[in-house]
Amino acid sequence: MVQFFTKGILSGFVSGIFLGLFLKVIEVMSGVKVYTLLLNVDYIPILKNYSFPEFVEFLLHLIISVIVAAALFSIIKISMGTKANGVPDDIDLLLNRRPAFPNNSLVRSHP
């Protein structure tokens, strides 16, 4: 369970960084305030009264991302069980097999 929880923490950290960088690029290119919305922490009652620099807001985003991912990984571990490699069947299917379907439309002849 600890190893699975650790995978959740790592997953939250990596996905939080990726999402932040992706939305920052989108905001810079389009002018739409998606990155600003990501860093908004007004839903945390204590923090909504303060103004933080962007770096601190991004760290808060990462902390929240890690907490959510670790909780979700723990819930998945408890409720679904795992395969031999430690990855739940539904997540394995989603990550490893689903991306192939959109690529099939790019190929002229299917095997």
**Range name among 18-22, 41-45, 101-105 with the lowest pLDDT average:** 101-105
Higher pLDDT among residues 11 and 78, named by residue: 11
Mind listing the pLDDT tens digit for each residue in 33-80? 999 888 887 777 887 788 889 999 999 999 989 988 888 887 777 666
Question: What pLDDT is attached to residue 97?
Answer: 55
Whether the full predicted model's pTM is greater than 0.85, yes or no, is no
With respect to residue 71, please indicate whether it lies within any of the assigned structural domains.
yes
With respect to residue 75, please indicate whether it lies within any of the assigned structural domains.
yes
With respect to residue 111, please indicate whether it lies within any of the assigned structural domains.
no
With respect to residue 102, please indicate whether it lies within any of the assigned structural domains.
no
With respect to residue 45, please indicate whether it lies within any of the assigned structural domains.
yes
Reply yes or no on whether the pLDDT at 110 is more than 50: no
Show the domain range for 64. Answer: 2-82
The count of structural domains within the chain is 1
State the alpha helices, DSSP H only, in 31-98.
34-38, 54-80, 89-96
